[in-house]
Structure 1
Amino acid sequence: MLNIIVPVDFHRGVLYALRHMFRLMKLQNENVVVKFAVNPRSNLILRWILNRFDKGNIIICKYSGGVNRSKLRNYALREVEGKVLLCDLDVILPKEIIDRCLRSKREDFLMFPCVYCRFGAQNKNLKTKRIRELRKSYTHIAIPSSIICFQKNEILFDEGYVGHGYEDFDFIIRYLVSVNKYKITDEDLLDETYDSAILAQGFRAKLAVFAIDQLRNGLIARHIYHRKGKKSDYKEERNRNARRFRVKIETMISAAESHQSSHLECSFPLTQYIDKTYPLNLLML
């Protein structure tokens, strides 16, 4: 059984959220259960609407304060056992991704890259050699991404992350460390964004390697276009979360006792996968 966990915070409006909830419900079958973690707060109309869903699909989360995707996901993780696929509300998951998750073994950890669509481009063909053409339809590719399939264990999200950013990186690294698939090093302190995925450095490059096989096999999710929120709020949240993330990584490095110096590697491990043909050409988006 595959449990697809989707946090729903309604910050883009109730109708927007419900439309995508009904769309994702189409993924459910005898082998797949979709779990929406929602916080309806005091909205009685929303509570009534949510009652239209099967009780097994809705996990009511009660907390005050701002948007906290970590809390939403943790409510859902505590409700399920076995195989989990984490997904966001505005992501399109091809059937091939679901099938790959169902075939996965207990010890597998799967990460799926995700292309971000421009307005009206969510159905455009990805199979082109020309990066210029791809950029007309897609802004970038998220690799590493937060779309992951794994066997649930005791690791939960850190609810100290509020708003947008870094809670996924934090969870993924701690999960991979717990199953002996990731070694914390000084390179994890390198927190640099990039114009193209192929230039990823630091922890982003290390995590991206977990998505390469899925990329090579064309198992790619699509992020539906939507308007961006307030830039000032986004930047403030992300900067605050980045500071929290760095402190935690520093603590993990100290505890690991495996680093020999403070030297930071600045390698580009994804460049070895450069290929001008689909789908590895997407690394150059």
Structure 2
Amino acid sequence: MLTAIVPLDLKRRPKDLIEKAKKLAEKAAENNIKIVFGYNNRNTSHDINFLKSMGKYLNVKIRQTQNFGPSINTSQLRNLAFEGVDSEFIILLDVDIYPDFPLFIECQKEVYQEKKPFIILPCLYLTKHGTKLLTNRTLDKDQIKDKFFSFSRKEFLHLASPSSIVIFRKDDYSRIGGFNESFSGHGYEDFDFLIRLGSAYKLIKKPNDFLLDIPYRSPLFAVGFRKSLGKLCIDSLVKKRLAFHLYHEKDSDEFYYKSRKNNYVIFSDIHMKEIDTKIETEETLVEQFISHCNLIGSTYQLYSIFFDNKPGHIDRVDTLKRRLKFIFNI
């Protein structure tokens, strides 16, 4: 049995999150999947609405806490949700993830068969237009994916590889100590968790450049810790196993997003102690990706989109507000 643990705090965009939570619960029930929400109840009318709406789903548990401060501690909420898990396998999800449970179950079966200790799914972030096509069933998930591999731009913002969507054994969550609750707000708590999970299976090395914090549009151009984690996603990329992140408005000035700088300091302080100067920097992910394609008898030319590192440009921006911000660099 597979259980999704999902953090939820309705401080931001409550109506959107409630609707997505209901859809996630509904699709999980259809696929015999349990959900445990780690939930921060702020005692608002939205919280009352959410709790009432979840009452009809027998596959849903809600583990609650109360924090009325400005911060959202996703790590705390995930750890809270974990306490309600009674299945052998877990998937980390957010309510913004498209509920592709057949894909998640397929991955869980591979972990069960011990083909892999865990599976991290790369995640395609959809634009408002792409989200509408998928959720309105104008296009199915395979058709949306085909558009991505055909270099269509208006449906997609970027590809996150790695992402925080990971399928693994419940025992491993406990073994590595769960999420570090020192992280608060947005960013780096998922990288920290994945690094510790990979390290538990001796799949992560920490060379001199490990703490480089440079994002690239191409998943194969990654450096530093993103490269170390990206190596663990190569098989998923080659198999075109991609999750989808549904669009929502984002205000980078929000307190939630401003916490990234402080979270990186926490992240670097933790992992700086484990840098091994004797480890030579590994070959690039481009080289590793091509080697993996050769190993399974595929050709890297089928995945040209993964090599696309063109900076953001106007045809990726699908709303007037975002276009204006892009044009005026604000």
User: TM-score under structure 2 normalisation?
Assistant: 0.75
Code of the residue aligned with 1:80 in structure 2: it is V
How far 1:235 sits from its partner (Å)?
Answer: 5.5
* Alpha-carbon distance between aligned partners in 2 of 1:90 and 1:167, rounded to the nearest angstrom: 17
SS of the aligned residue for 1:149 comes to strand
Conserved in 2, the CA contact under 8 Å of 1:201 and 1:267?
no
Conserved in 2, the CA contact under 8 Å of 1:37 and 1:72?
yes
Instruction: State whether structure 2 residue 65 is matched by structure 1 residue 61.
Output: yes
Instruction: State whether structure 2 residue 51 is matched by structure 1 residue 50.
Output: yes
* Alpha-carbon distance between aligned partners in 1 of 2:235 and 2:227, rounded to the nearest angstrom: 14
How far 1:173 sits from its partner (Å)?
Answer: 0.7
* Alpha-carbon distance between aligned partners in 1 of 2:307 and 2:163, rounded to the nearest angstrom: 13
1:24 is matched with which residue? 24
Code of the residue aligned with 1:57 in structure 2: it is K
The alpha-carbon distance between structure 1 residues 159 and 212, as it changes in their structure 2 partners (threshold 3 A), is same
* Alpha-carbon distance between aligned partners in 2 of 1:110 and 1:70, rounded to the nearest angstrom: 20
How far 1:179 sits from its partner (Å)?
Answer: 3.1
Between stretches 74-83 and 233-242, larger displacement belongs to: 233-242
SS of the aligned residue for 1:141 comes to strand
1:126 to 145, 153, 174: 145
* Alpha-carbon distance between aligned partners in 2 of 1:163 and 1:235, rounded to the nearest angstrom: 7
Instruction: State whether structure 2 residue 223 is matched by structure 1 residue 222.
Output: no
1:242 is matched with which residue? 264
Q: How does 1:173-212 map to 2 (within 5 A)?
A: 173-212=195-234
Conserved in 1, the CA contact under 8 Å of 2:15 and 2:46?
no
Conserved in 1, the CA contact under 8 Å of 2:36 and 2:81?
yes
How far 1:245 sits from its partner (Å)?
Answer: 0.6
Conserved in 1, the CA contact under 8 Å of 2:36 and 2:84?
no
1:281 is matched with which residue? 305
The alpha-carbon distance between structure 1 residues 89 and 169, as it changes in their structure 2 partners (threshold 3 A), is same
The alpha-carbon distance between structure 1 residues 37 and 234, as it changes in their structure 2 partners (threshold 3 A), is closer
How far 1:283 sits from its partner (Å)?
Answer: 5.0
Cα deviation digits, residues 42-91 of structure 1 (max 9, x gap)? 33662364144247422212334311100100101122142100011111
SS of the aligned residue for 2:274 comes to helix
Unmatched 5+ residue regions in structure 1? none
Code of the residue aligned with 1:147 in structure 2: it is I
Q: How does 1:106-125 map to 2 (within 5 A)?
A: 106=112, 107=114, 108-122=117-131, 123=134, 125=144
Q: Where do 4+ consecutive residues of structure 1 move more than 6 Å?
A: none
How far 1:165 sits from its partner (Å)?
Answer: 0.5
User: TM-score under structure 1 normalisation?
Assistant: 0.86
Counting aligned pairs with the same residue, the percent is 30
Conserved in 2, the CA contact under 8 Å of 1:143 and 1:197?
yes
SS of the aligned residue for 1:116 comes to strand
1:39 is matched with which residue? 40
Instruction: State whether structure 2 residue 4 is matched by structure 1 residue 4.
Output: yes
* Alpha-carbon distance between aligned partners in 1 of 2:202 and 2:288, rounded to the nearest angstrom: 24
2:82 is matched with which residue? 77
The alpha-carbon distance between structure 1 residues 217 and 244, as it changes in their structure 2 partners (threshold 3 A), is same
The CA RMSD measured in Å over matched residues stands at: 2.5
The alpha-carbon distance between structure 1 residues 212 and 196, as it changes in their structure 2 partners (threshold 3 A), is same
Code of the residue aligned with 1:141 in structure 2: it is L
* Alpha-carbon distance between aligned partners in 2 of 1:232 and 1:36, rounded to the nearest angstrom: 23
Whichever structure has more helix as a proportion of its residues is 2
